[in-house]
Structure 1
């Protein structure tokens, strides 16, 4: 009888979880600010803990930190945001011109290849390759444009996220105890040990990548301004955002800047390529070792596979989330393996 009651409780729990996931699926359109709030709270909580260690109470520490972040945001909003909006407007107006120019260059390249004497099969392969390159370039520009405008459409959600994050941080201890109450007492030690292991994987990676991305965005923007490249701020921001994708990110982040300059001047495009190479050397040699700290502990081949799989499943967002998710999966599988081996 006790075994039957246990299975009944387990069935009810599973049904409640499924109902909860289905409800979240129905209201998925409003979840973005809550997701961003969780990310903000996770990123800044270590700084809150340091302030608590120096005698601040929790609310005072949160207000102080958020005041600093708000000041930085206002300075950025006053001086940086208008420049970004202006560049985005200019980019949206000139993008068709760049696409047409790229189309013209590719058409000319096709004509030049047709004049070259080569076997018919090689000409066919060359034509197909150029068509694929052209389509890939256009797809990339379209996705990049969609990504930028999707980001702008979520600005209101981004404004709400810090407010929600404030309440998460304010009541973090209450929320933690609430989560603990849902875990049976005999499993609490193991469950929270697993969470601590997951937190070690995520904390160094997420906070480190965020800071590295900011450094890359700033360095790239300054370099592109020196080289007198149009849309330097937007291109720098794109380079910083893509840099959170291991191995492939720096290449993807460089493509828009190189492509825009290449259409007008191949020689200047070479200068942009050199700029990105120098920045990546600075990042890998000086910035990342000082900032990243703990890593996810994955083999490079595993990281590359995870990034490609994430891109296949979820596009750019999937590529960004692939490595931390892979790190978490590794910790969980290791935990399960240890438990089964006992």
Structure 2
């Protein structure tokens, strides 16, 4: 297949998959949100009735539960509007999306020549070392993306199955939210799963919510002690402690965005810096500026 056509089809396929997932999540959320709020209100009222018997009809308890119930009922349409407004923000990002697609197309189609053009800025003694460091950095970011997607998929499948078995509404959108939240190592799945726990509490009560919370905490321990060492440790060659400290530092410096980019940046520096400083010998690599040697396929 010609390179231009392959790059174009790759972009269209990726855009179609992401757009379809976003549409399904928003459509399901808008459709099921009223029923979810009604169930949450019923749960709050049921908890109030139980607590009233224990607290002997406390006026403060009645006031608190009435305030929660009235707030949910009053902001029922606002919750739906918030979802549709969030979907509308995607229209405002058309310019950024077009620019991203434009850059991605040329990186997919002509990355070899672009990298070779960048290498021309370095003299001959350093060009090989910079080339090797670039390949090491690319290997690090590739391993990070693959490892993160694998871990996020495991979290989404396990928590999604648990939501379906517990009968929680919006199981699909919540599982997608957990998937994207898992791109923040160690903490993202727990934070995104907290919303699933709240939804389960409002629709199923305390027992299903506690079961789901136990599943999420178990998933977090599985990630910290099994998935991170086996998958991410092998992919980016960083110890789980280093990953945790890096995520913490990135969160303090840049918030959520800092937490997302902290680990890949640390992996790139860890892999590329020794080559640049001469502490490791440059690995033999075919420069993107040079033609690919012919060989058996």
Q: TM-score w.r.t. structure 1 length?
A: 0.56
Report if the CA contact (8 A) 2:129-2:275 is conserved.
no
CA distance in 1, matches of 2:265, 2:153: 22
Flag the 1:293–1:58 CA change in 2: closer, same or farther, 3 A: farther
CA distance in 2, matches of 1:309, 1:290: 23
Flag the 1:159–1:223 CA change in 2: closer, same or farther, 3 A: farther
Between 197-206 and 240-249, the greater mean CA deviation after superposition:
240-249
CA distance in 1, matches of 2:266, 2:135: 16
Query: Within the alignment, does 1:73 sit opposite 2:17 as a pair?
Result: yes
CA distance in 2, matches of 1:243, 1:317: 13
Aligned length: 246
- Which structure features the higher share of helix residues? 1
CA distance in 1, matches of 2:118, 2:233: 29
Query: Within the alignment, does 1:62 sit opposite 2:7 as a pair?
Result: yes
CA distance in 2, matches of 1:315, 1:151: 24
Report 1:269-284 matches (<5 A). 269-276=209-216
Report if the CA contact (8 A) 2:186-2:220 is conserved.
no
Q: TM-score w.r.t. structure 2 length?
A: 0.63
Q: Tell me the residue number matched to 2:249.
A: 309
Report if the CA contact (8 A) 1:307-1:323 is conserved.
yes
Q: Which has the higher contact order (CA 8 A, sep 6+)?
A: 2
Q: Which ranges in structure 2 are unaligned for 5 or more consecutive residues?
A: 59-81, 281-297
CA distance in 1, matches of 2:185, 2:123: 38
CA distance in 1, matches of 2:87, 2:259: 17
Q: Secondary structure at the match of 2:235?
A: coil
Shift of 1:200: 2.1
CA distance in 1, matches of 2:37, 2:156: 22
Shift of 1:280: 6.2
Report if the CA contact (8 A) 2:232-2:238 is conserved.
no
Query: Within the alignment, does 1:192 sit opposite 2:131 as a pair?
Result: yes
Flag the 1:259–1:65 CA change in 2: closer, same or farther, 3 A: same
Flag the 1:69–1:302 CA change in 2: closer, same or farther, 3 A: closer
Query: Within the alignment, does 1:230 sit opposite 2:169 as a pair?
Result: yes
Report if the CA contact (8 A) 2:229-2:240 is conserved.
no
Report 1:292-307 matches (<5 A). 294-307=234-247
Query: Within the alignment, does 1:334 sit opposite 2:281 as a pair?
Result: no
Q: Which ranges in structure 1 are unaligned for 5 or more consecutive residues?
A: 1-55, 116-144
CA distance in 2, matches of 1:290, 1:228: 32
Flag the 1:163–1:81 CA change in 2: closer, same or farther, 3 A: same
Report if the CA contact (8 A) 1:204-1:293 is conserved.
no
Q: Secondary structure at the match of 1:295?
A: helix
Deviations 1:271-316 (A, max 9, x none): 3234436766887899889976842222222211111111112222
Deviations 1:71-90 (A, max 9, x none): x628x72xx54441134436
